[in-house]
């Protein structure tokens, strides 16, 4: 049976008008097309990463899905509700965490802040205390002894945890997180990453997670959508994205000693290897789609040339390689 997506974007286009300043009084209006037709589907139980560099359109996408911005063209749905015409229903089903944590009160404790938002969201007064305690525990503020400290005393990591706690107050089916770990201390970042995975994998929630950090996307996300300049350039599991560019596997062979001729090597691998010399060792590097088919010949050539091989490694492409590859195609 086909599953229905819990978040769906269809051809989203968003333009921002801004003034380009030219001197004191002159200026012309310029239009920035932040999204140029973005479409995707996200299903229950998965963490999907929207991965792209600064300015790619990640925040704009999250804001449209969370009803904070209206698209110029295209549509988006959360659990079948239209983000423009059924915004109220959408809001009831989502928890949002934006990078800039807005609305918290400096002179209230974390707990008091959450109680305030719980009331604002319409949680019944007899469940508020219990639910607030639950989310404080979930995000680890309780463990840090921070629940009853003033917000103004919070570290960045504590603020991020409180921000996530607020997003979870209503126990939403769909969680939208905009660069949730940006600038955080490693324990807080790890806590948030683990939590997010648990929400999807243990509780079956849908998570849309934006980041510009490839390492993070790779460890957090079940599926990654690569976005650049308002366009989706690739989509797949971290492994699939890497698979598509297996030509980026790098073979590194370290040999003892200095200059040597590697002409024969070129005949075997088909390209000029990159050669680096350091501390009496020479590293020979080349990229290959199927290194396993070459390595035997490579070793034979090197050994017959008198090379003393110290180490041989094959490095898998990183998501960064994938990103550079797809971005350069666009």
Ligand X SMILES: Nc1ncnc2c1ncn2[C@@H]1O[C@H](COP(=O)(O)OP(=O)(O)O)[C@@H](O)[C@H]1O
Residue the block writes with tokens 């570290």: 155
Quick one: which of 295, 271, 296, 275 has its CA closest to 284? 275
CA-to-CA distance for 261 and 189, rounded, in angstroms?
A: 48
CB of 29 to ligand X, least distance (A): 11
59 binds Mg ion (CB under 5 A): yes
Per-position x/- string for 29-58, each x denoting binding to Mg ion as judged by CB under 5 A, each - no binding:
-----------------------------x
Size of site (CB under 5 A) for Mg ion: 2
List for the chain the helix, strand, coil content (%; round to 5): 35, 30, 35
CB of 240 to ligand X, least distance (A): 22
Q: Cα 174 from chain centroid? A: 16
Task: Determine the size of the site formed for ligand X (CB under 6 A).
Answer: 12
| Number of CB atoms found within 10 A of residue 258's CB | 9
Q: Which of 7, 44, 49, 59 binds ligand X (CB under 6 A)?
A: 59
Nearer to ligand X, 30 or 310 (CB): 30
Alpha carbon 295 to its chain centroid, in Å, reads 35
Of 123-142, binders to ligand X (CB under 6 A) are: none
Q: Is 34 in the site for ligand X (CB under 6 A)?
A: yes
Contact flag: residue 54 with ligand X (CB under 6 A): yes
Residue 228 near ligand X by CB under 6 A: no
Q: Quick one: 48 or 269, whose CB is closer to ligand X?
A: 48
Nearest-angstrom CA–CA distance, 96 and 81: 16
In this structure, what are the phi and psi dihedrals at residue 58, rounded to the nearest 5 degrees?
-65, -50
What order do you get walking across the sheet with 223-228 strand by strand?
A: 94-97, 174-178, 206-211, 47-51, 223-228, 231-236
Asked if 52 is part of the footprint of ligand X (rule: CB under 6 A), the reply reads yes
Distance of closest approach, residue 170 Cβ to Mg ion, in angstroms? 24
Residue 40, phi then psi, degrees to nearest 5: -165, 165
Q: Among residues 9, 51, 60, 163, which is the contact residue for ligand X, using CB under 6 A?
A: 60
> Which of ligand X, Mg ion, none does residue 126 bind (CB under 5 to 8 Å by kind)?
none
Q: Which residues are near ligand X by CB under 6 A?
A: 16, 18, 32, 34, 52, 54-60
């Amino acid at each position: 049976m086909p599953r229905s997506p819990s978040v769906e974007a269809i051809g989203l286009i968003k333009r921002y008008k801004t003034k380009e300043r030219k001197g004191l009084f002159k200026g012309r209006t310029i239009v920035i097309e932040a999204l140029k037709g973005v479409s995707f589907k996200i299903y229950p139980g998965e963490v999907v990463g929207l991965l792209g560099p600064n300015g790619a359109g990640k925040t704009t996408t999250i804001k449209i899905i969370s009803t904070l911005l209206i698209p110029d063209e295209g549509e988006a749905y959360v659990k079948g509700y239209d983000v423009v015409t059924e915004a109220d229903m959408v809001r009831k089903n989502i928890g949002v965490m934006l990078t800039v944590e807005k609305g918290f009160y400096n002179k209230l404790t974390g707990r008091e802040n959450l109680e305030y938002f719980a009331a604002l969201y319409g949680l019944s007064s007899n469940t508020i205390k219990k639910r607030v305690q639950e989310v404080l525990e979930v995000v680890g503020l309780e463990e840090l002894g921070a629940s009853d400290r003033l917000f103004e005393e919070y570290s960045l990591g504590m603020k991020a945890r409180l921000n996530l706690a607020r997003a979870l107050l209503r126990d939403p089916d769909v969680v939208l997180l905009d660069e949730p770990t940006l600038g955080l201390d490693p324990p807080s970042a790890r806590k948030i990453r683990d939590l997010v995975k648990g929400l999807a994998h243990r509780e079956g929630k849908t998570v849309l997670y934006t980041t510009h950090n490839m390492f993070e996307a790779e460890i957090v996300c079940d599926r990654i959508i690569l976005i650049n300049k308002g366009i989706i350039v690739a989509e797949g599991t971290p492994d699939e994205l890497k698979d598509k560019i297996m030509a980026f596997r790098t073979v590194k062979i370290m040999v003892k000693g200095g200059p040597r001729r590697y002409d024969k090597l070129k005949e075997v691998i088909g390209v000029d290897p990159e050669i680096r010399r350091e501390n009496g060792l020479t590293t020979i590097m080349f990229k290959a789609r199927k290194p396993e088919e070459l390595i035997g010949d490579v070793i034979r050539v090197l050994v017959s040339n008198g090379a003393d091989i110290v180490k041989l490694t094959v490095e898998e492409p990183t998501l960064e390689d994938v990103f550079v590859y797809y971005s350069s195609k666009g």
